[in-house]
Amino acid sequence: MQSIRFSRLEMLFSLKSFAGAMLALYLASRAGLPRPFWAFMTAYIVAHPLAGNVRSKALYRFVGTLLGCAATVVLIPALSAAPELLTLALALWTGLCLYLSLLDRSARSYVFLLAGYSAALIGFPLVEAPAAMFDTAVARVQEIGLGILCASLVHSLVLPASLAPSLLALIDRALGDARRWMSDLLGDGLAHADGARMAADRQRLALDITQLRLLSTHVPFDTGNLRWTAGAIRAMQDRLSALTPTLSAIEDRLEALKVAEGKVPADIASALGRHMGWIAPQEASLPATATAAAIDEARVAFRALADGPASSPWIRALRIDLAVRLEELVREWAACIGLRTDIDAGLAGSAMPRQRAAALGQKVLHRDRGLALRSAATAVLATCACCAVWIATAWPSGSAAAMSAAVFCSFFATMDDPVPAMHKFVAALLWSLPVSVFCVLVVMPLARDFGMLALCIAPFFLLVGCYIARPASSLAALGMFFGVAGTLALQDTANADLPSLLNSNLALILGAVAAARITALVRSVGSDWSARRIRRATSLDLAELASRPQDASARDAYAGRMLDRIALLAPRTAPGAGEEARADALLALRDLRMGADIATLQQWRRSLPAEAVGRLLADSARAFRAQAAGAPRRDEPLLPQIDRLLLDAVHGDPAQPDSAAIAALVGFRRNLFPAAHGALHP
């Protein structure tokens, strides 16, 4: 049972949403638009507690609506003589737009989502009356545009809530999780590593980085100075992504040294213990987190570890690897802290330094084309099924069922199993039916002026708005809202009667039920199925990295994508999975390191024997492709190849290969053959 006590922010959101919606309704009514409640409903749809999110949703929704209307204007005149083909074309357009929306996991996906179901909302009622096509499409664009404008004005001008506090808190949390992981690893972890604690550190950081990438898409629309820091925020995402495989590799190499030597060598433990100041938070003795002197001292000390005592070529290679990773860790952490300082300066109004490297942004996020195609096919099938019943029975309200199926399939498509949420939404629609009947048949005829109408509908919409702002109840509250506002928008409230009202609401509910049933048959997948798809995509990425030389951004892009996958895997493997979930997380982390090492080896391959490196990478690519195809990964021949390259690199030509190439080879060996603790074999 949800509490009826609301916070100040929840009440403020509800008041602003209602004010924007009523302003839109008033202007639409005064302009003589045919369905002014479309403007009212749109103002609520684009509402959000943060002003930047409202403005980005407003822009993307308007562009999507224009695209949907354009599709309607093109399709209806061309296919109006064949209603069956027209309904099929509208269903296919909805499916295509949904597919594109699911591939773009950013705020821009809203454009494609709206383009799809806007065409369904406008087009299906016009299948039987194509002559009104152009006027209806123009009216919908005007009504929706008016709702968008009013909501944007109210949320931007009346006590606007900036994205800055939420985003800065997320950045600081990510930096704090990274700092905690470093402290756990380089401090207490040298003596007695707490695997569960460091696993939690890794998982939190991966989730933070993915949330930061998704939330930062709204930064250019913020109402304050935050929008000028967009470049630094995108660069921060990339630096945090690059930091993670480095930290994971250090954790693995320290463990390898413990196994090989019985403990972490004394000089390494001493150096790490003496040089921890660069990790210190801002409130500690070192101001601004780390001074340049502390950073320089740490880098010099860590670089010297490569020349420490080594009892075998393998230990020598491990020391070189560890020294490279520690120096890289200090450099990447200093870059993160510097970017955090730049963001603070930008918020204060100072000029932002230009970022030298292009930020990777949303390009690194995981995409599942197969699941997106499956979701699109589900939307097409559900919509076509409702259209078939509509055409076969000549049901006057059948178009509402087709619209409902298209919207429902689109709205819940991002979930693994959308059916439970669909059922909850349908239940809320049923609960909203008495309120809809009361509003249309009692309130609307009695409301003689706009003020009376506002007073009559205010209690319901203000209450629902507070529940929409509360995450735990938002889904059910949205169902109630759409049930009532959708009825007011779709009905001719001046001529509505009880039979037509019940008939159209029944069509909406049946369309939603049809969408849920077909989704259960075609689209719903288990979390284990999604996890296997994510792992297969990782194997294909590794094969692609090994197949051909990559540019300098390949490592960071792969790291960002793998962190996104780790964040996606976490909720799919954690519930009740126990040791299996932990094993999956460790495999994902190993794949993260593997991609970074392949990208580094590609970058420095010229410092190693070209033929041997080319053969190693080609054999690795074949092994990863076999794994992606479901066959066992045959990587046994890779171990002697790696060992020969390492022996040549450590004891070969005096013109020693770059340390980064040696580190990448060590990473290759540790990631592919973690149980191979012994000496290198020629």
| Residue 603 neighbours by CB distance under 10 Å | 19
Predicted pLDDT of residue 195: 64
User: What's the confidence (pLDDT) of residue 654?
Assistant: 42
The 10s digit of each residue's pLDDT in 138-197 is 888 899 999 999 999 999 888 888 888 888 999 999 998 888 888 888 875 555 555 667
- Among residues 55, 50, 38, which one has the least CA distance to residue 9? 50
Residue 371: its H or E element? helix 369-393
pLDDT at 655: 47
Helix (H, G, I), strand (E, B) or coil at 345: helix
In degrees, rounded to 5, the angle at the alpha carbon of residue 439 between the alpha carbons of residues 436 and 445 is 140
Contacts 24+ apart (CB under 8 A), 188-196: 189/251, 189/254, 190/254, 190/264, 190/269, 190/272, 190/273, 193/251, 193/255
**Contact between 428 and 479 (Cβ < 8 Å):** yes
- Quick one: pLDDT at residue 461? 94
- 197 within 8 A of 184, measured Cβ to Cβ: yes
pLDDT in tens, 559-612: 778 777 777 776 655 444 445 555 666 777 788 888 888 888 888 877 788 888
Taken in order 79, 80, 85, 90, the sign of the CA dihedral is: positive
**Token duo for residue 593:** 């390191």
Contact yes or no for 425/475 (Cβ under 8 A): yes
Close Cβ partners of 406 (under 8 Å, ≥ 6 residues apart): 90, 91, 94, 116, 117, 120, 121, 124, 379, 382, 383
Q: How many CB atoms neighbour CB 586 within 10 A? A: 15
* Residue numbers in the chain where pLDDT is lower than 70: 1-4, 188-196, 280-291, 351-364, 492-496, 526-527, 550-553, 570-585, 633, 652-657, 677-678, 681-682
pLDDT recorded at residue 1: 39
d(CA 118, CA 112): 10
* Residue keyed to tokens 């994205």: 163
**Mean pLDDT, the chain, whole residue set:** 83
State the pLDDT at residue 290: 45
Q: Is 176 helix (H, G, I), strand (E, B) or coil?
A: helix
pLDDT at 285: 43
